[in-house]
Structure formats: structure tokens, C-alpha cells
Amino acid sequence: MPKVPRPRLPRRLDHGEEASLVEHLDELRQRLFFMLGAVMVGVVIGFVLHKRIIHQLLDTIPPGHRVITITVGESFMTSLWVAIYTGIVLAMPIIFWQIWSFFVPAVDKEHAKLIKYFVVLAFVLAAIGLIFGYYIVLPAAENFLLGFDSDTFKHQEVQARPFLTFCTNVELAMALIWELPLFVVGLTRMGIIKTEKLRKNRRIAYFVTACLAVALPGVDPVTVTLETVPLMILLEASIWMSVLLDKRSARIKAERNA
């Protein structure tokens, strides 16, 4: 019987290594398949744990409300979508790792060494975002939305799929929001955005960040506010993190030239 080739990680190009367009596209294809595989593994894990995840999300609903299903396949489709969202969240550190690995040849070797720390930091930031969303954003948003005009609308029964979709969208958004420092630092390390220019154009960056927060899941003022505030704080932290890394790079270059 012919041997099945073992799956391998895509080869990362070294700094300054030249490659043809076909080689770059082949590397990109491999990394996309690797990211898709990570998401699929995460989906399987999410489906195995979907009951526990759904129960955790249902615990955030205010007292006096109960969640119901209406259509025949709603229970199955809701569980499936919860598993898919879980898979995306679990695969986020690997996705960021593969994206950074694809662009890292444009960065010098000193910054390329930071990739392993970026993967760990991506996982930590995503976890913080999920915790923040679960304990802060979801309870506040649900209390506001389900309590709005409660004397007119009786929200004693809530449909399962829209409710859990709202919860998973907010959780996924918060996980992505807390990855902002990695995104900004990555752009500054690759030279796409200059740190000094980013510092001078803070107002534009804050405006873009506010627009991004409005575009995230949640139409109520409570959810939008609780998504905007962390974004602003993380943006400022990203700028100062880039400043510190620039100073570190300048110091290393000075020591080498001495």
C-alpha cells in the first residue's frame, strides 16, 4: 500500500529570502489549510462541549426569563453554530501564528524571534476578552435589552437561537477586540505603520476604532460602550508597546554598531 504523506507545517521563509510568486501562493495555501484544520479541530471540541458551553451562556440571562426553542431543527442548528463559534475562538492563536509566520520574512530576525511570545500572548488576550465579555458585557447588555420597556413588552420567554447567537457574537467580538495590541504591534514591526506617525495621528486612530466598535455585534448603547472602552484602552496600550519595542530595537542596533 502506498504510504500516506504525513502532514507538515508550512515552511517559513527566512528574513530576506527571495521566493517566486508561485512559492508565496503555495505557502499561503498551506497556511490557509492549516488554519482551516485548526478551526475544524476546534469545532469538534466545541461540539463535544456544546452542552456545557450553552449552559454557561444561559446562566447569564436575568432571573425571570426562560429560553425556548420554536422550530424542529432549532436545537441542533443552535448547538452546531455554538460549536462553530467555539472552534473559531479556540483556533484564533493558531490563526494569528500562521498570519504572522507568513509576513515575518519582511521583519528582521530580532523581531521574528517574538513570534513564540505572540502566540502565547494571543491566547492570553483572547481568554481575557472572553472573561470580560462573559462577566461584564453580557450581563449588562442582557439586563438592559430584556429590561427595556418591561412594562410594555413581557420578555418572559426568549427564543434560544437568537439569544445564543447574540451571546456567541459578543464573546467572539470581545476575543477579537483584545487581540488589537497584536495587530497594531505587528503592523509597526513590519513597517507598514510608523510608530511616530501613529502617535501623532491618535485622533484618527480613535475615530477608526470607534467606527469599528459600532460595527461590532450589539446595537444597544450598553454593548457598544462596553466594546468601545476596551478598544480605546487597548489602542493606547498598543501604541506605547510599539514605542517600547522601537526603543529596544534602536538600543540593540546601537550595541551592534558600537
- pTM, to two decimals: 0.77
For residue range 34-67, what is the model confidence (pLDDT) as tens digits?
A: 999 999 999 999 999 999 999 999 998 888 888 8
C-alpha cell at 174: 470581545
- What stretches of 49-179 show up as alpha helix (H) in DSSP? 50-58, 74-103, 109-112, 115-132, 138-147, 160-177
Distance (Å, rounded) from C-alpha 208 to C-alpha 160?
A: 34
Any idea which residue has 492563536 for its cell? 93
pLDDT: is 10 or 187 the higher one?
187
For residue range 78-105, what is the model confidence (pLDDT) as tens digits?
A: 999 999 999 998 898 888 788 877 776 6
C-alpha cell at 165: 447567537
The structural domains of the chain, with segments of one domain joined by +, span 21-253
